Structure 1
Amino acid sequence: MFVSLQFKLELKREDKEKLIQLMRKQSSAIRVAYNMLKKLEKEKTKNPHSQIYHRLRQLFPELPTKYIDSAVYKAKQYPTDKSVVFGGKRLFEKLCKNHLTDKAIERIKKQWRELRQGTLISIGSKHKTAQGNLLLRFMELNGNLHLRITTGNREFIYAKVLREPSNSKDKWLTFMAMLLESWQTQNYFAYTVELKLKEGEVYGSVSFEIPTPKVRYTKENGVIAIDTNASPIHLAIAEVSKTGELLSYQTISLHNLLGLSQNTKDHQEWILTHQIVNLAIEKGKAIAVENLKKLKRGRKGDGKAKLRKILHQWNAKKFLQKLKRVAMLKGVEVIEVNPAYTSVIGMLKYAPQLSIDKDVAGAYVIGRRALGFREDTPENYEELLKDKAYLEFALERYEEREEELRELLEKETNEYKRNAIKSELKNVEYANEAIN
Structure 2
Amino acid sequence: MKKFNIQSAYADSIATEARTCLNQLKTAKKNLISKLELQIQAKTTATKKLIIKLEKTLFLATKKGFPHIQARNKFHNQLLGLKSKIQKIASLKRKLKKLKNTERLHICFGSSKLFNAQHNLSENGYKTLDEWSDYWRKKRSGRLFCVGKSQPGGGTMMKVFPLQEDGLYQLQVQLPRPLQDKYGQKIQLEFSVSNRNGRLISTDLDYAINNLKPITISIFRREHKQDNWYIHLSTYVAEIPVFHTRKNCCLGIDFNADSISVTYVKWDGNIEYLEEIAYKWKNQTTGQRQTSMRNIVCQVVFLAEFFECAIAIESLDFTKKKSIARSEEGKVYNEMLVLLSTGMFREAILSRSRRFGVELIKVNPAFTSVIGMINYMGKYGLNSGTAAALVIGRRALKLSEKIPQCLLRLEDVNKHDWSHWRRVASFIKLHRILWTQLFQWRKTLEGIRSP
Please give the TM-score of this superposition, normalised by the length of structure 2. Answer: 0.46
Greater relative contact order structure (CA < 8 Å, 6+ sep)? 1
